């Protein structure tokens, strides 16, 4: 095996390492979110709604970097358990608006312990990672119709874009 063949070993693939890390972190959330009756993706939806509600489905998808086909079943399940409502938007009847129910808004108080619990479970301090890493080549795009990359407000580390790229 020559050096370039070693580059194709599974253990050397960045995507594999990130995939394993992602699954491990999401699995660590499961017992923490269970008392809230939330899965990790549902928790992300609720976080976005606790930041701003009501929101249009399209805007919620853009904030979460989720396609409508992924987001719709999450919203349906959260509506079924009584955490949110979906109604026609008052200003555009073609759009759906998502809002918290009183039960969904009250759930925020119970969820306040989740970040600290997860930081402890993962051995991180409060000054750990904040926001998804920025991809400098533009390959990760949000669902924005203008095709521009969504830049998170804060980053893990403070790297500068690589020179020449």
Provide the 10 A C-beta neighbour count for residue 128: 11
Q: Is the four-CA dihedral 45, 26, 135, 51 of positive or negative sign? A: positive
Measured between alpha carbons, how far is 102 from 149 in angstroms, rounded to an integer? Answer: 34
> Could you read off the pLDDT tens digit of each residue along the chain, which spans 165 residues?
677 788 999 999 999 999 999 999 999 999 999 999 999 999 999 999 999 999 999 999 999 999 999 999 999 999 999 999 999 988 898 999 999 999 999 999 999 999 999 999 998 887 655 666 555 555 444 444 444 444 433 333 333 333 343
Question: Taking the model in full, what pTM does it have?
Answer: 0.75
Q: 86 by DSSP, 3-state: which? A: strand
All structural domains of the chain: 38-113 (1.10.10.10)
Q: Which residues of 68-91 are buried (b: 16+ CB within 10 A; e: fewer)?
A: eeebeebbebbeeeebbeeeebee
Measured between alpha carbons, how far is 10 from 147 in angstroms, rounded to an integer? Answer: 32
């Amino acid at each position: 095996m020559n050096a370039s063949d070693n580059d194709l070993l599974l253990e050397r693939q960045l995507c594999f390492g990130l995939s394993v890390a992602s699954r491990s972190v999401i699995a660590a959330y499961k017992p923490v979110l269970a008392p809230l009756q939330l899965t990790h993706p549902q928790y992300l939806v609720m976080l976005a709604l606790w930041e701003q509600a009501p929101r249009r489905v399209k805007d919620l998808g853009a904030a979460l970097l989720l396609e409508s086909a992924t987001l719709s079943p999450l919203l349906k399940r959260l509506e079924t358990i009584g955490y949110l409502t979906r109604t026609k938007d008052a200003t555009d009847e073609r759009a759906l608006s998502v809002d918290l129910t009183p039960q969904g808004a009250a759930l925020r108080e119970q969820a306040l312990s989740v970040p600290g619990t997860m930081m402890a479970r993962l051995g991180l301090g409060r000054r750990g990672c904040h926001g998804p890493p920025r991809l400098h080549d533009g390959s990760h795009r949000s669902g924005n119709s203008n095709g521009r990359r969504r830049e998170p407000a804060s980053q893990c580390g403070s790297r500068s874009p690589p020179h020449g790229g």
